[in-house]
Amino acid sequence: MKLETANSDPKLFRTGLATIAYQEAKIGSDWSKTASEMSASARVLAGMGLAEPFKQAVLAQLDCVNAEREYCCFTETGKVKFFENRLTVREGVNCISAQRLGNAAAALQLALCQSQPAGPGGTPVIRVFPACPAGWNVRFSLWCHGGFRITSEICDGEIGYIRIESTLGGICRIRNPWSEEELTLIPETGTVSIHSGSLVEFATAEGDEFTIRRGKRPIQ
């Protein structure tokens, strides 16, 4: 279940949010308590668009805040949470681990750019900054389903642009990050077009490049 589920199956999405709210009540709204080497909580929270809970969980996961509770050999390994290379010895000196870094990286991508469908077998839809915490200034370039490479940036809460590179061609579907405001789709070559509404869809060919900017701009 991801944010896109809210559009196709609102009831199911509300059930997901209620499940998260139940867990939140149990931990006193402190998502750092869920952080562990293999925890998926940061990924789940980012996927559901919950920016601040995601931030708590992912930073705690990176900092190994629950190492004393979680590590099998914490005392025997010198009570070291993680080494300078960020790796851990959660299961002992002969078991160097980087799994939490992969979990945190996957969660971070979901917070910055999603392209999952609403459900299995569904149509992928791109979302930029769906769970970016307040106060984060970010620039990213990430791959999405369908061979689209998305580059964007946010500064002081404002998304400056969205750059789309189509490496395979096909229909690009992207949620309007400015709600339903008008936006301008600017192809590298071709005609500028104005769009509005929640979902923007347009055809691409292999190698096409586009820029999306907020508001209406002159049409060529």
Q: What is the 3-state secondary structure (H, E, C) of 93-158?
A: CCCCECHHHHHHHHHHHHHHEECCCCCCCCCCCEEECCCCCCCCCEEEEEEECCCEEEEEEEECCE
What would the pLDDT profile of 93-128 be if each residue is shown by its tens digit?
888 999 999 999 999 999 999 999 988 889 999 999
Domain boundaries, the chain: 137-220
Q: At residue 129, does pLDDT exceed 60? A: yes
Q: Please state the pTM of the whole predicted model.
A: 0.91
Q: In this model, does residue 217 exceed pLDDT 80?
A: no
Torsion sign, CA atoms 142, 187, 199, 145: negative
Give me the percent of the chain exceeding a pLDDT of 70: 98
Superfamily grouping for domain 137-220: Golgi alpha-mannosidase II (2.60.40.1180)
Split at pLDDT 50, 70, 90, the class of 36 is very high
**CA distances from residue 26 to 34, 89, 130 in whole angstroms, order as listed:** 11, 29, 25
pLDDT of residue 218: 63
Cβ–Cβ < 8 Å for 159, 153: yes
